[in-house]
Chain A
Amino acid sequence: MVTPAEPPVAELVARARRGEPSAFDQLVRRHLRAAYAVALAVLGRPADADDVAQEAFVAALERLDDCREPARFSGWLIRIVRNRALHALEKRKLRDPRDDAGEVVAPGTAGDVVLRAHLLAALATLSTVQREIVLLHDLDGWTHAEISDALGLTENNCRQHLFAARRSLRAELSALAPEEVRHG
C-alpha cells in the first residue's frame, strides 16, 4: 500500500493538521481507492460508492484532529466510510424498498461494461465483510494485518474470509460468463 518513497501516514496526518495542502492531497490519493472499496462493499453501486467515499473523506479530513492515532488513520477512515455507507444504504432502502443494488452502467468499452456488471453481480452474492476484504486486498493491495486492524478481525479470520470470497467469486463468475473468469 505504501512505497518506500512515500512518507508515513502519521507524518501526513501531522502535516495536514498543520494545514499543509500537499499533505491533504497525498492522504486522499493514498486512501481514496480503499474508501471507495469499502463504500462499494456496503452499497453495491459504483456511483453511490463514489459519492459516499468522497463525502466521508471530506468529513474525515475536516475533523482530522479527532483521529487519536494518526498511524492508524486508514482504519479510522474506513470506519467513517463504512458508517456513512450504511447510513446511505438505509436511506436508499427507505426511498425504494425493492432496492436490489442494481448497477447504473458507467461508460466504458462493451467488454468492460459486461465484465463490470458480472463482477458486481458476483460480489453481491458475498457477505459485506467478504466484499470489504476481497476489495481491500485484491483491489487496493491491503495486507491481512492492515485489513484485520481496520475491520476489527483476527488475521486468520481475514484469510478465511478472503479464501471463501475468492472461491465464491470465481464460481459465480464462471457461471455468469465462463470465458471471462480471470485468475489475476
Chain B
Amino acid sequence: MAEQPVDLSVLDPRRNEARFDAAVSRIAQRAIELRRLRRAVVRRGITALAIAMAAGLVLWFAAPKRNAVAPRSPDLLDWATRDVGANDVLGLGGSHAQ
C-alpha cells in the first residue's frame, strides 16, 4: 500500500489554473525587471568607474613633476658627521671644508 502514491491533489497549486497562470506571469515579469535593473546598475557602475579612472590618469599626467628627493640645506648633523663647513650650516656662505 505504501508503494502507491498518496493523492495530494487538493494541495496542488495548479488546481486553480487561472491563479497559477497569474502567479507564473507575475514571477517571470518581476524576475525580468529585476535582472534588467541589476544589469543597468552594473553597466552604470562600470561606466562611472571607467570615467573616474580616466580622470585620475589625466590628473596624474597633468600634475607638475617633482624631484624624487628635494635638495636640503646642510645642518648640524652634516657638520658633525660629514665634511661640511660651519658657514654652510649657518647659512653664511663661504668656503667648503675649512
Contact = CB atoms under 8 A, between A and B. Distances in A.
A138 B31 contact: no
Interface string A51-85: 00010011001101000000000000000000000
B24 A184 contact: no
B11 A62 contact: no
A33 B2 contact: no
Interface string A8-46: 000000000001010011011100110010001000001
A184 B12 contact: no
Interface stretch (A94-102, A144-152, A164-172): A164-172
Given A24-B32, A64-B35, A167-B2, A54 B26 contact: yes
Given A24-B28, A61-B27, A33 B13 contact: yes
B24 A28 contact: yes
B10 interface: yes
Contacts of A169: 6
Contacts of B25: 25
A124 interface: no
Given A138-B5, A182-B6, A21 B32 contact: yes
Interface residues of B, number: 28
Contacts of B13: 32-33, 36, 50
A57 B31 CA distance: 8
A112 B11 CA distance: 9
B5 A62 contact: no
B11 A32 contact: no
Contacts of A170: 1-2, 6
Contacts of A135: 8, 11
A32 B8 contact: no
B27 A54 contact: yes
A116 interface: yes
B4 interface: yes
Q: Which 6 A-B pairs have the closest CB atoms?
A: A61-B31, A24-B28, A182-B7, A184-B5, A138-B5, A166-B2
Interface of A: 19, 21, 24-25, 27-29, 32-33, 36, 40, 46, 50, 54, 57-58, 61-62, 64, 108, 112, 115-116, 119-120, 134-135, 137-139, 163-164, 166-167, 169-170, 182-184
11 contacts: A27-B28, A32-B24, A32-B27, A33-B12, A50-B13, A54-B26, A61-B35, A62-B35, A64-B35, A119-B11, A135-B8
Given A32-B13, A61-B35, 12 more contacts: A19-B36, A21-B28, A28-B27, A40-B11, A64-B35, A108-B10, A120-B11, A169-B6, A170-B6, A182-B7, A183-B1, A184-B4
